[in-house]
Every structure is written in C-alpha cells, then in structure tokens.
Amino acid sequence: MIGTITASRLNIRAQPSQQGRKLGEYSLGTLIDITGERLGWFEVLYQGQPAFLHADYVDLVEQPSRLIGRVTANLLNVRQQPDSNSAILGTLTAGNRVELLAQLEGWLEVEFNQGNAYVAREYVDLHPREAPQQGVVDANLLHVRSQASRQASSLGQLAAGSRMVIESRLGDWFEIPFGSSRGYVAATYIRTLQEAELLSGPIDENEEEEEDSSLAPAQPADEASRLPPLQRLPISGSSQARKVATTWNRYGGLLSRLSDEKQLDVACAVAVLCVESSGKGFEESNQGRMIIRFENHKLWKFWGRQHADDFHNHFRYKTSQTWKGHQWRATQGEEWHKFHGSQRAEWEVLEFARSIDNEAALKSISMGAPQIMGFHHEQIGYPSAEAMFDAFSNDIEAQIRGFFDFFSRTMVQRLQRQDFSSFAGLYNGSGQKQKYGSWIKQHYDALKQIAPR
C-alpha cells in the first residue's frame, strides 16, 4: 500500500504507540510505502528498520495510477518481470518520468514502450498526479529544458504571454507538453491561469469561453482548419487505393497542414489512419457512434487486478498473446461472446464495463480514426480519459489533432525514414509490428501512386 502524509509534520516512532521512541518525522504530502497495520498504526520501513505512523494522519492512495514516478538512479534497468534476474527491456536515467500502473513487493509496474514492465521501487520517487492547469509565460523569452535543470539542453523557447498545460511540478520546475514530447520550464517565470486572470483584469465573453476549453488541444476557427483538400482524388483501383483516396478526400487539407508542421510526408499520416480504422472516425451503421476497440487486457490493468474474481466472471483473454481471445459476458451463467469485428458488440462491452468503472473502461478502449488508447489522454492534452472520449465522440477534427499530438519524436523520425515496422512497434506495440508495418507501407505506396506529382 501507498499512503500520503496529511499532517504538517508526522512523527515516526519505533513502536505503535504515542510513547514509542521518535525516530524522525515526515512532512505534509510525503508519499510512503506501508508494509502493515497494527491497532491504528501503519508500519513502514524507515532507514531500513520497521517503524510506525499514526493512521489518523495518513491517507491511503487507492489507485497507484494516480501517481507519477521519477527515477532517482543514474541508470535504472527496466525489466520484463518483477525479478532482478528477468530480461532487461531497456533503461531509464535520472529524472525520467514513469507512468505507474501498480505497486508490487519491491517493484513498480510501469508503462514502457506502450507495454508494461517493471522497475525497482527503491530507485523511484513517487509524486501525486495533479490535475492539469494552464500557465502563462511571465518573461520576455523562456527556455524549455529537456530536464528540470538550468544545465539541461534547451528544446526551444516560449515568448511572453505564451500559454501551456502544466502537467506536474518537480521542485522549482513545471513539466509541460512541448512539441511531440515533454519539457520543463522554471516555475518562477510562470503564472497559473488564476494568477494571470487576477493581474490582467476582466476578460470579455469570447475570451472566457476560450479559457474554459484551454485544457483540450487548440482548435483553430479560421479557414485553415477546414478538413477537405483543395484537390480531390478519384476513388478507384485496389482496396488500398480506394481507402487512401477516400481518407484523403475527407481530411487531406488538415492532414497536409499538420504533416507539414511535423515535417512529415502526408502520405504517412494517411496510411496510418487507413490501417488503424480505414480512415473513419465514426461508424454510420452503428448510429454514427465513434469507432472503438475494447481491450480486455487493459481493463485488467486498470481495474481487474484489484477485482480479480469479478473480472474473470465477465472478461477473458489469452494471457500469452494478450491481443487474442477477447470475450465477455454480462452474467456468470451465460455463454461467452466474441466482440471484435462488430462495432455494435464493441459498444455493448464498453457500456457494460463503464457501468462497473467508467474511467477504467474508457482507458481500455482505442478511440476514433487514430485508434489512440484512452490511457494516453494526458499525452494529447486531456485531463481524463472521459474528457478525451467526449471530445473524440463529438469532433473528427479533435481525433485528427490528437493523432498528431500523440506522435513522439521517435515516431516522427521512423516515419520520416519510412521505417514503418519500427513505427508500428511504437504506435501499436511490438507484438505485431511487422504485420502493421507491412500494411502501412502498402497504403503509403498506394497513395504515392495515385497522388498528383
């Protein structure tokens, strides 16, 4: 268990008693690992020895996914299993952020390369995940750094008055989305939205409406935001050619502008959308609802681990190949149902899962034309999976802008090199990257053959 200290200063004692010898103290907001409980006291490890905290001044963190981890070791191995002898999948360096899925004995389960992996608990500091807020630059020119340090390399600069989403605070630094990754800005030069409003005085009605939607990705209102291209393509030829032409005719204008911003060949973006969803964001035959795919193994991560018996009564999948064998049932006595391949069936299982745990269910689906998983909501600027779901459900433009916001720097580099299999390993996961990469290339080639030169 993980707890957070709610007192300004809480004594750490050698015994579970007010008369126990004082060993030290924790300050307000400190996160601690709880190893046991005795008669109103929580047991913890303090300097390698058992110690005790009064339970009245400790709040349990029920969902580890509400925490952010920061690596403290110079180099930290990321392992396939929670075992020091397990295969190493990669490494993290000091200051790297990790997305926490669960806490085990001495290990943390984290998101790594769009999968799950494990790191040793002792080399990661945990911090509460704060609700995103907006900040305004209060300096003539402000560097965005690669790490929370003045010595770190500069990723770019922000001019006075620039606004950004503040995702978290690390000491004297704010972490913000920047380009296709994250960066850090000195907190002393940032005013929060509330502070900015107090200093700037009243704002008019249009400005206030804009402020209310500031945590969602910006949506340009001018002619440049139009979806269709100036030149349409004929829909004929192979299935790939028809698919890329249809997708281009729907969104080619916006796709071209956003691709130019990323210095990408627009054919790459069209090809990926075609592979993910046939270039469609909504399914007309399913009451016009957004296209989704429900992933049982993701629901296991976000809800099932804590409710194993209930999960196994209603959901199952093949544990050796987690993308296979997905079935569900509403009651324990009925037959199991497959649901992939039918949007009506996908929505039935989603609605059932939402009745159990709304946010966990929405984190467990891929959404819209780009098929981005709900648990990536913060990466593309939404405070919750539900906020992302609502935006994507109402606007194809939100889906396409979210698609480009989701691209990491490495994804962009892979597409620029037309290394589609490596890109698919990052976007879809390594399990089927060769298959997805081959499909992307087929659609890319199809568009290059029919597009005007």
In whole angstroms, give the CA distance from residue 364 to residue 359.
9
Q: Kindly tell me if the per-residue pLDDT of 345 is higher than 90.
A: yes
Confidence class for position 234, pLDDT limits 50, 70, 90: confident
pLDDT of residue 131: 61
Confidence band of 35 (pLDDT split at 50, 70, 90): confident
C-beta atoms surrounding 209 within 10 Å: 10
| pLDDT value for 148 | 80
Q: What tokens appear for 129 in the block?
A: 């995940």
Which of 368, 376, 363 lies closest to 301 in space, CA to CA?
A: 363
**Residue 304: pLDDT over 90:** yes
Instruction: Report the C-alpha gap between 438 and 424 in whole angstroms.
Output: 9
pLDDT over 60 (residue 194): no
- Hey, what's the torsion of the CAs at 430, 434, 436, 439, to 10 degrees? 170
Residue-wise pLDDT for 78-131, tens only, equals 998 888 999 998 888 887 878 777 666 678 888 776 567 889 988 988 776 666
The residue among 68 and 174 whose pLDDT is bigger is 174
Q: Given pLDDT bands bounded at 50, 70 and 90, which one contains residue 242? A: confident
Q: Are the CB atoms for 168 and 136 separated by under 8 Å?
A: no
For the chain, domains (ranges, CATH) are 2-62 (2.30.30.40), 65-128 (2.30.30.40), 133-201 (2.30.30.40)
Beta bridge partner(s), residue 269: none
Which range has the top average pLDDT, 27-36, 77-86, 224-233, 424-433?
77-86
Q: How far is CA 181 from CA 153, 177, 184, 254, 408, in A?
A: 14, 6, 11, 21, 6
Comparing 6-10, 254-258, 259-263, 433-437, which segment has the lowest mean pLDDT? 6-10
Buried b (16+ CB within 10 A) or exposed e, 399-410: bbbbbbbbbeee
**Per-residue model confidence (pLDDT) at position 284:** 64
What does each C-alpha distance from 335 to 300, 327, 329 come to in angstroms? 20, 10, 7
Find the distance separating the first CA and the last CA of the chain, reported in whole Å.
61
Structure tokens at 62: 């029920």
3-state secondary structure of 188: helix
pTM of the model: 0.52
Q: Look up residue 397 and give its amino acid.
A: E
Q: Do 270 and 247 touch, CB atoms closer than 8 A?
A: yes
Average pLDDT across the chain, whole number: 83
